[in-house]
Structure 1
Amino acid sequence: MKRLVALSLLLLPSPLAAQTAGPEALWNSFLAPPDDARPMVRWWWFGPAVTTHEIDREIRAMKAGGFGGFEVQPVYPLSPDSATLRNLPYLSDDFIAALRHAAQTGRAEGMRVDVTGGSGWPFGGPHIPVDQAAANVRLVRVSLAAGVGELTRPALGPGESLLSAMIGPEGVSAKADRPLAPLDVREDRVAVAPADQPREALFFIAGRTGQQVKRAAIGAEGYVLDHIDPAAVANHLRTVGDRLLEAFAGGPPPDAVFSDSLEAYGSSWTGDLPAEFRRRRGYDLIAHLPALFLDTPESAAVRYDWAETLSELVDARYLAPIDAWARSKGTRFRAQVYGFPPPTLSSNALVALPEGEGADWRSFTSTRWATSGAHLYDKPVVSSEVWTWLRSPSWAATPLDMKVEADRHFLQGVTQLVGHGWPYSPPEAGEPGWAFYAAAALNEHNPWFGVMPDVTRYLQRASFLLRQGEAANSVAIYLPIEDAFAAMRPEAASVNEAMHRRVRDALIAQVLDNGYGFDFVDAGALASRGIRHKALVLPSMERIDPAAYAAIARWVKAGGRVIAIEGLPSNAGGLRDDAGRARVQAVSRRLARSKGVVIVKEGALGPALRAAISPEVRTAAPAPALGFLHRRLADGDVYFVVNTGNVPLRTSARFAGDRGNGSWWDALHGTRRAAGRGDIAVDLAPYESRFLLFGGPARQPAAPSIAPLSAAARDWTLSIAGRPEQPLPKFGSWTADPALRHFSGTAVYRARLDLDPGDAGKCLALDFGAPAPAGAVSNQARPFAAIEAPIRDAAIVSVNGKPIGSVWAPPYRIDLSGLRVGRNAIEVAVSNTALNRLAGRARTDYRLLSARFGERFTAQDQDKIVAQPSGLLRAPTLVETGAGDCR
């Protein structure tokens, strides 16, 4: 691929960002990690109808919740203008003043401040004329009956042109042996020689998709830009990018400017594509346009050349220029580098901050695409869009749901979370206020927001520790991008979308279930960076880039191991690349004779890997729910270990890098204990996670044993919803009381606990009970906690009037080691979600909003707004957790 030379110029030395000050310094940083590891939120400005007072209040609420920053994204309005609410047109002076105020307040509060480089997504708006709008190439078929000698040329819209026209037999398809004849189409009416048989005229048109910016703010409506038109990109940077940065004049620039995924559906062309194609590929694309739409013998090769040209242009004309523009402005380009038109994995090298999305850690995702690019190109911070569809509808998500999905992003290598999201909501909106049409609503209007600082502290600790050292994945999986290029069609010009079919879940499962971490790799990375992994998996594939294949051959000669599925590649891809094809075939012949290469069926990949290299994690029994991520420090190894299932996970495992002094670090509670060596016990509650570190001292206490005590909290009372405190006859959902069915808020449970002198000094905890599984584990792409929790949905516990912590995730237990001998007062403040309140009212009527601004969104899953169980569902018990485990 011709991009390889350009990419190699961008590479930086590979720093080992490991701790050198010793394990105790790392532990102290883990307990109180730096602010830049805090999760961020995407801050939706609806309308935008914002005021400086509310901006200040919400920024301070974000900070109080433990978020480290925000990304301002102006989107569609949620209210017409009124006497007390005014939508500020996007990029107007009032809007820029509001953005300036948000930046100043954010900086004053020590927050990171990002801004989306447009309104909604993808980039575009009213400044994009039709001849800079997202472009496509399309085929229009016109039937011609037998004996007819004239037809009408299809109409063209503004910014469109006719590329070529041909005529052939009726229903001409890819496999037709009869050649197509050219048509002279200089006039609207086209004369043709009559024929005895029906025929079909094919018109190839350089058109416009007509796609409008999705979820646009007031004043931001318009065409999506052509991502591979330099004039369109320059126009957007000048009109929108430079204007946004005026809000930061006189102060620090934004920390990053963000580009969402390239969802320019149907984009497949640009005005000078024929000229660029000829320059890069060496022949005339116009003469071969039928091969893009029909399955001719040359189609795969022509499509390959066309798709590779598109990909090179999106790198050179969109990603690289915007990154350079951002650097020239003193900021950084954060981008989701995938979509339509088709970037490749190595395109992540072109942006300062790659970002992904997708929580399915056992499938191909754009998250793993981004983190793999970050690993390959030495970018220690890689973010992900998280909670995009969490527990839809909005307001249904719980703190545990947040953890469940975040952990699956961490398992893929993410080190920075950008949460979806924080809806701006003015006082006029009431409670719980505005929410995005999809995605979790994570602001302080959530009744359970009181535990958010503990949720974000967990996420901050995990993000911090996952930035240390370097990725230690043993296996690389080659992405068959070349085959995707060869199969690409104009209506779906995307690489990452095609990978779901070409890197199957069954292949990934065999890598993970046999104890290996992995990265994806592609031609650009292998040819320019080589291979750092111990084994390379080649999925079933026909084509491969010759330079990348030569790098693989050199690696195998030096001792690398390749496991090829079904066979080795036989083609290089392009129509005129006979020399490349010959090189690929020669390499395949050599590799087929190498002891470092084995060819297996997909179902035999796991045993082949184990025969080639040692696993990173070897469990005593199969445990598909056990997820892990391995990183190597300068003086040890660290594993992030997660039970992704909804039942307890108990096994033992051997870990690569075991130096005999393993230590479990708990990011949720800020505790550590000895893990032992060799066959290490892994005992995790549903959705529980821990870090396992090797290389430090082994002074921590051993694992606790849980034992019930005769002492108990008793005389429970309940105060809720303004009612006087009452004795609690039994535990259960407060929704059982019809008067409380639609109450969203906090209930306070109180009890007394009498501690005997003989129990003083023991490690005691209040245990709320084990969760029960609630059906199958949720869809991996939209995960949530599939359990019946004993607390719905989060609790803050106080002892003798002093808050001691929160409980919102398994194991539902909190340390009570601070009890005093004699009487103690226990208080458990339990909060639910906002769904119960919403279930008791009519759905929002957007009729007048849509009449004023058009229908810009559809609220998702409104039928799922039903009251949920709430409160303490079981009686808590007092347990002893074993000597030495007191926190």
Structure 2
Amino acid sequence: MSRNPQSEPSNMPRFPYFLPRANNHLTTKIATTITLTVTLSTPLFSQVSIDNLKQNFQNPPADAKPMMRWWWFGTAVEKPEILRELKQMQADGIGGVELAFVYPQVVDDPSKGLINHPFLSPEMLDNVRYAQSEARKLGLRVDVTLGSGWPYGGPATTLEEAATRLRTVEIPFPANATILPQPDLAEGESIISISLVNGEPKHWDAATTQTIIPSEISSINASTTPRTALFFIASHTRQQVKRAAVGSEGYVLDPFSHQAVATHLKTVGEPLVKAFGPTPPYAVFSDSLEAYGADWTPNLPEEFHKRRGYDLLPHLPELVAGGTPAAEKIRHDWGQTLTELVDENYLTQINNWAIEHHTKFRSQTYGEPAVTLSSQHLVTLPEGEGPRWREFSTLRWASSANHLFGNKITSAETFTWLHSPVFRATPLDMKAEADLHFLIGVNQIIGHGWPYSPPQAGEPGWSLYAAAVFNDNNPWHPVMPDVTRYIQRISYLLRQGEPANQVAILLPTDDAWAHFSPGKVTVTGEMTHLITPALMSAILSAGYNVDFIDADTINRQGIHYPILVIPPTDRIPAETLQRILRYSSINRGKVLCLGHTPLHVTDGALASFVWSGPHQLIPPTIVPNESALIEALHTASAPDFSLHTKSSVARDQIGFIRRRLPNADIYFVANASNHPIQATATFATVYPSGEQWDPDTGVSLSISSTDVDLNLAPYESRIFVFAKTGSQSGRPTSTPRTDSTNTSHPGIIDLSKNWELHFLDTNKTETQPTLTDWTANPDTKFYSGEAVYTRDFTLTAVPTKPVSLEIEGGTPTTPQPLAQPDRPVGVRNPLVTGTGPGMRAWYDPPIREAAIVYINGQRAGSLWHPPYRLDVTHLLKPGQNHIEIRVYNTAINAWAALPPHDYKPLIEKFGDRFQMQDLDKVKPVPSGILGQIHLVTEISQ
């Protein structure tokens, strides 16, 4: 990306001094005395009424609703079903859809009305037009993916414009030989450069490189030493678009090529956006960059020379071999050039195109190729993915960018691998993952997802090969409005004010570039090694929240965090080093270097002299390792959130995020573990008092900002609002929920026995003297759907104290490895995700999987996550009372009774475009009420 100060966005804080990043032929001296005046901008807030904030929390605006990725398979869709599903989403509290066109589910069957309309065919585009029109009538937002499957590409992408890679052919060149043999070239390949090196294939010395001019390959000077001929070839990855719809098959485009991207926008983007007519989509979408192995483009040598000031081709042997400082320098410059090309030709071009078409560009700007954190300032709506809370994640990568660049909304592709196989995910799983997203800074959930599924497909219907299913084919769907309302409330609150994270971690982007190698050009991939889970956990467990920052962002707008943490870093740009010195010496910012200070500025000069000597500079604090980081952080600045507990697990599993308003502080706090946690918390707010808000009910409780009892059930969350002037609503309107493990029960009525149970979809009725798992009965082992538990109970009088219906008995389960076939497995937080990149709640609840409670014919509420408790005081009456609990399990039990689906006809027709995940796990799971049911009075707090 450009490093010219004239290109800085006008809304970014500007500094009066700008030092260009040093390149290989420019040595920049670092000033030993700094006398510049730096003015940090102070964000301006509008005064917020806390009562209005609470009112909006209880009834949040529609734009905070979660969205859904809406998969159109084939595309075999029909207008009546399109409209029905849109209406269902609206009823479920879903705020909009992202149209996503993927692989076919069936072979064409006109007799059943199942026809795969080819991608961009008139029929398909007419359905797009209809869907967006009807969605808007329903008040739903509509985004669209600019393509089918992922990444961008398809039939309009010729081999010439397809993703390109550097291929190296090594051919032995014996002693005394004078004529070079020629390598075989595939279609579309060309020789970039030829070199001779001493040694044998795979064991040659790049320092002995002799570049060969193509016209001289038939007359090489003889040598008594065996050599290897290196042919560097511009080749192609030949990667095909993944999960493509019918008619969208083809090569993945070259993301470094302006022309390849322009071709895609013209042939795919234009027809899709034109189908929206006079009302363009809210946003056009680009999924995560997964152009695997793309590390070259035809004009790279020319661009490299223009940007770096020297010729790349003679250094290709060093680039391929690696292992020396000189090779790392070449790889660094190569990686930096690739980043600039994808920034300019992919991100900037698409973003400008979106603006010209009166829409926004929503981009998952990570993966391959080599985008950086700063690349995200080139798109309107940066988006993240992956609930990796206590390690490097592309989700925090995106939320950090939005915090840095002043974007109010951070969206996330959410629930991507939630509790495989596809119909196994539950509302509790949804909450466990959504809360991690909130802790990282997300405030717009985009569920992954909603499969279009026509009635002809039967039950459980169509689904993506490896994703949760949130349409109404899942039996627990009746509680979806309660789940979405929870998400909507938290999303709304986390949009208020501004982010208040205290710590910034400087991403060692220059080291990441230096670690590149042919076929491996991903900055985010390198960051998973450079930003360790131990580093992330130390900061979070110390009571701070954190953003990432990179050198280019510091160079553009300075550092606006109390603490800057620099992980072990070898390379840092000269200008960035200057700005860090200003930050620490003039602005008194705290700089903590883990292990050591950065060793070199990027022109190769030593940086260590800057951190010492008679310069009247404030030196950074050197922290020897992650275990010493907590103390260093506490010395630098008081933590934002202090947890007082003897349990180290509690400190590691309770997370928070804070939003700062001009007259209030908002804290979202969540237990990310499968165990109840008892602790006392202190919030570092200037306001001595505030309120605790229940995110399910909106009920409030007055609290102090210090020594707050924080008794959280597994996966429970709370909201804390501290204000300059408290809410006028005063005392709580009813008793807030507390963890059932921390209550005293002087008044308990046991309702655990003698229930009538009616299975709605079978008309089967039975009596359960003791609550029993549905799968224990052969008649209901494979039942998926709704079952109604009913019984009567008698009260001599309604208690004067609050009464709650409580279902107890949930137990933690042991995390197991979770697989994700499309992406590599890495280290994960075991209490949340197991050891794979998938996600689920490791907890067996007392209700499998959700319930809605009615007392005396009135709805008391839903139960779908711990603590399983509802305030029912206002529904009780003296004498006989009637209770009805409608329980919903998942679709997987019924699916387990079906014969295996035969995909052979589909594969014969369209090829093997998807592989259903975890089919060996399709088996009945426990269902029904499995805990103890009590009416409880006098809940202590």
Answer with 6-15 or 128-137: which moved more. Answer: 6-15
Amino acid in structure 2 at the alignment position of 1:524: D
Q: What pairs up with 1:2-21 in 2 under 5 angstroms?
A: 2-3=2-3, 5=5, 8-9=8-9, 11=11, 20-21=47-48
Amino acid in structure 2 at the alignment position of 1:707: H
2:790 paired with 1:736:
no
- How far did residue 107 of structure 1 move? 0.2
Match of 1:620 in 2: 644
Residues 835, 866 of structure 1: 8 Å contact kept: yes
Could you list the per-position Cα deviations for residues 249-287 of structure 1 after superposition, in whole angstroms to 9, with x for gaps in the alignment? 13x110000000110011111111111111111111111
| Matching residue within 845, 851, 858 for 1:789 | 845
2:408 paired with 1:380:
yes
Amino acid in structure 2 at the alignment position of 1:647: H
Could you list the per-position Cα deviations for residues 644-688 of structure 1 after superposition, in whole angstroms to 9, with x for gaps in the alignment? 111101100111105221211121222221222321111100000
Amino acid in structure 1 at the alignment position of 2:9: L
Amino acid in structure 1 at the alignment position of 2:925: Q
Match of 1:51 in 2: 78
- How far did residue 875 of structure 1 move? 3.2
Amino acid in structure 1 at the alignment position of 2:782: H
Q: What pairs up with 1:185-584 in 2 under 5 angstroms?
A: 185-186=214-215, 192-193=220-221, 195-250=223-278, 252-295=279-322, 296-557=324-585, 558-573=587-602, 577=603, 581=605, 584=607
Q: Distance in 2 between matches of 1:7 and 1:839?
A: 59
| Matching residue within 648, 654, 662 for 1:634 | 662
Relative to structure 1, is the Cα distance of residues 724 and 490 closer, same or farther in structure 2, using a 3 angstrom cutoff? closer
Q: What pairs up with 1:703-714 in 2 under 5 angstroms?
A: 705-707=743-745, 709-713=747-751
SS of the aligned residue for 1:738 comes to coil
Q: Distance in 1 between matches of 2:173 and 2:856?
A: 89
- How far did residue 208 of structure 1 move? 1.1
Match of 1:41 in 2: 68
- How far did residue 770 of structure 1 move? 4.0
Q: Distance in 2 between matches of 1:489 and 1:864?
A: 38
2:692 paired with 1:669:
no
Query: What TM-score, normalized to structure 2?
Result: 0.90
- How far did residue 192 of structure 1 move? 4.3
Match of 1:132 in 2: 161
Q: What pairs up with 1:577-656 in 2 under 5 angstroms?
A: 577=603, 581=605, 584-589=607-612, 594-595=617-618, 597-603=620-626, 604-621=628-645, 622=648, 623-656=651-684
- How far did residue 316 of structure 1 move? 1.1
Match of 2:833 in 1: 779
Match of 1:762 in 2: 801
Match of 2:909 in 1: 852
Q: Distance in 1 between matches of 2:207 and 2:412?
A: 51
Match of 1:78 in 2: 105
Could you list the per-position Cα deviations for residues 574-603 of structure 1 after superposition, in whole angstroms to 9, with x for gaps in the alignment? xxx36xx36x45533369974451112123
Q: Distance in 1 between matches of 2:254 and 2:705?
A: 57
Relative to structure 1, is the Cα distance of residues 185 and 796 closer, same or farther in structure 2, using a 3 angstrom cutoff? same
Amino acid in structure 1 at the alignment position of 2:765: E
- How far did residue 17 of structure 1 move? 8.4
Match of 1:155 in 2: 184
Amino acid in structure 2 at the alignment position of 1:144: F
SS of the aligned residue for 2:139 comes to coil
Q: Distance in 2 between matches of 1:592 and 1:651?
A: 46
Answer with 430-439 or 289-298: which moved more. Answer: 289-298
2:143 paired with 1:89:
no
Residues 764, 816 of structure 1: 8 Å contact kept: yes
Amino acid in structure 1 at the alignment position of 2:833: N
Amino acid in structure 1 at the alignment position of 2:853: V
Q: Distance in 2 between matches of 1:846 and 1:186?
A: 55
Amino acid in structure 2 at the alignment position of 1:800: N
Residues 10, 349 of structure 1: 8 Å contact kept: no
- How far did residue 709 of structure 1 move? 2.5
2:150 paired with 1:121:
yes
Amino acid in structure 2 at the alignment position of 1:93: P
Residues 7, 350 of structure 1: 8 Å contact kept: no
SS of the aligned residue for 2:544 comes to coil
Amino acid in structure 2 at the alignment position of 1:117: L
Q: Distance in 2 between matches of 1:718 and 1:615?
A: 52
User: What is the number of residues matched between the two proteins?
Assistant: 875
Could you list the per-position Cα deviations for residues 144-164 of structure 1 after superposition, in whole angstroms to 9, with x for gaps in the alignment? 345555443222233322111
Amino acid in structure 2 at the alignment position of 1:315: D
Residues 685, 705 of structure 2: 8 Å contact kept: no
In the alignment, structure 1 segments of 5+ residues that lack a partner are: none
Answer with 11-20 or 77-86: which moved more. Answer: 11-20
Match of 2:858 in 1: 802
Residues 194, 214 of structure 2: 8 Å contact kept: yes
Amino acid in structure 2 at the alignment position of 1:768: I
Match of 2:894 in 1: 837
Q: Distance in 2 between matches of 1:311 and 1:862?
A: 40
Relative to structure 1, is the Cα distance of residues 591 and 348 closer, same or farther in structure 2, using a 3 angstrom cutoff? farther
Q: Distance in 2 between matches of 1:22 and 1:775?
A: 45
Residues 48, 661 of structure 2: 8 Å contact kept: no
Amino acid in structure 1 at the alignment position of 2:854: S
- How far did residue 223 of structure 1 move? 0.7
SS of the aligned residue for 1:406 comes to helix
Amino acid in structure 2 at the alignment position of 1:292: L
Could you list the per-position Cα deviations for residues 421-465 of structure 1 after superposition, in whole angstroms to 9, with x for gaps in the alignment? 001111121001000011111111000000000000000001000
- How far did residue 881 of structure 1 move? 4.6
Residues 174, 294 of structure 1: 8 Å contact kept: no
SS of the aligned residue for 2:504 comes to strand
Q: Distance in 2 between matches of 1:743 and 1:241?
A: 45
Residues 4, 527 of structure 1: 8 Å contact kept: no
- How far did residue 143 of structure 1 move? 2.2
SS of the aligned residue for 2:513 comes to helix
Match of 2:208 in 1: 179
Residues 671, 677 of structure 2: 8 Å contact kept: yes
Residues 131, 158 of structure 1: 8 Å contact kept: no
SS of the aligned residue for 2:197 comes to strand
- How far did residue 173 of structure 1 move? 6.4
Residues 770, 810 of structure 1: 8 Å contact kept: no
Could you list the per-position Cα deviations for residues 50-73 of structure 1 after superposition, in whole angstroms to 9, with x for gaps in the alignment? 011111011111111111000001
Q: Distance in 1 between matches of 2:258 and 2:484?
A: 41
- How far did residue 185 of structure 1 move? 4.0
Q: Distance in 2 between matches of 1:172 and 1:861?
A: 42
Could you list the per-position Cα deviations for residues 782-833 of structure 1 after superposition, in whole angstroms to 9, with x for gaps in the alignment? 2311112100000011112222211010001111112122212110010100
Match of 2:25 in 1: none
SS of the aligned residue for 2:147 comes to coil
In the alignment, structure 2 segments of 5+ residues that lack a partner are: 14-40, 816-830
Residues 48, 662 of structure 2: 8 Å contact kept: no
Q: Distance in 2 between matches of 1:383 and 1:11?
A: 22
Q: Distance in 1 between matches of 2:423 and 2:49?
A: 43
| Matching residue within 686, 691, 710 for 1:682 | 710
Q: Distance in 1 between matches of 2:403 and 2:7?
A: 15
SS of the aligned residue for 1:220 comes to coil
Residues 612, 619 of structure 2: 8 Å contact kept: no
Relative to structure 1, is the Cα distance of residues 323 and 710 closer, same or farther in structure 2, using a 3 angstrom cutoff? closer
Residues 200, 227 of structure 2: 8 Å contact kept: yes
Could you list the per-position Cα deviations for residues 697-742 of structure 1 after superposition, in whole angstroms to 9, with x for gaps in the alignment? 2733486654253444464211114335332221021110011111
Amino acid in structure 1 at the alignment position of 2:611: S
- How far did residue 571 of structure 1 move? 1.8
